[in-house]
Amino acid sequence: MKVIVGNEDYISQLIADEFVKQVNAKPNSVLGLATGTSPLKVYADMIKANKEGKVSFKDCATFNLDEYIGLEGTHNQSYRYFMNDNLFNHIDIDKARTHVLKGVGDYEAYMRQYDDEIASFGGIDLQILGIGSDGHIAFNEPGTPFDSLTHIAELTESTIKDNSRLFNDISEVPTKAVTMGLKSIMNARKIVLIATGKNKAKAIYNLLKGPKTEEVPCSILQDHPDCTIYCDEEAYSLVK
């Protein structure tokens, strides 16, 4: 596992460059995408590269990690809305080839097919991850089995509290989500993880220095053959 430390602008640009490099080498790349505040600057840099003619996403396919249960894709806190607003609406991608888990309707049937659908595209070439303060990745909370595929997750109190900053009130935060599992994530050929801020320091310490345990979901990344962790100084502070 490789670790790169720098300020948020620097590490976001490096990750965006990885996506540009991947797509230019393989125009029909399958990209694994994340939501939340961590990848926002990465997506802004990817948009900039696309508008400057440095990369085209027109032949790519994308798969997102998760979605809240109970939110329509038009809801401004749904992850489909987030991806359209922060990336897809601004690049030359075919939205029919962008996949975000469903949070309404027959989402359980779609969930059961998600890993097979990823495999039908040849698997994910490059996956970006954020990380929760308790070490969760996607919505795989502490205790999630390492062999989990896409499933329904009950969100912990700390995750609900962390995500409440994006809602008007904590009572509005959904308590369940559909999420790619830990095995699903590990199936990606290359993984990049971004972590910024002091509230991520314990999670990064446990990822890099702690034992591999299902109580720290991110620790499974210790076994991935091509994973790079991008941190700012605050997130890396306990490791130092």
- Catalytic residue, candidates 8, 45, 66, 162: 66
Verify whether residue 151 is a known catalytic residue.
no
- Catalytic residue, candidates 8, 67, 125, 141: 141
Verify whether residue 136 is a known catalytic residue.
yes
Integer CA distances (angstroms), 27 to 30, 125, 131, 172, in order: 9, 11, 28, 40
Q: Report strand pairing: 126-129 vs 2-5.
A: unpaired
143: region left, alpha or beta (phi > 0 left; psi from -120 to 50 alpha):
left
- Catalytic residue, candidates 136, 151, 224, 232: 136
Residue 52: CA count within 13 A, CB half-sphere? 8
Verify whether residue 92 is a known catalytic residue.
no
Contact in structure between 81 and 75 (CB atoms under 8 Å): yes
Verify whether residue 90 is a known catalytic residue.
no
- Catalytic residue, candidates 45, 115, 134, 232: 134
Instruction: Name the residues annotated as catalytic.
Output: 66, 134, 136, 141
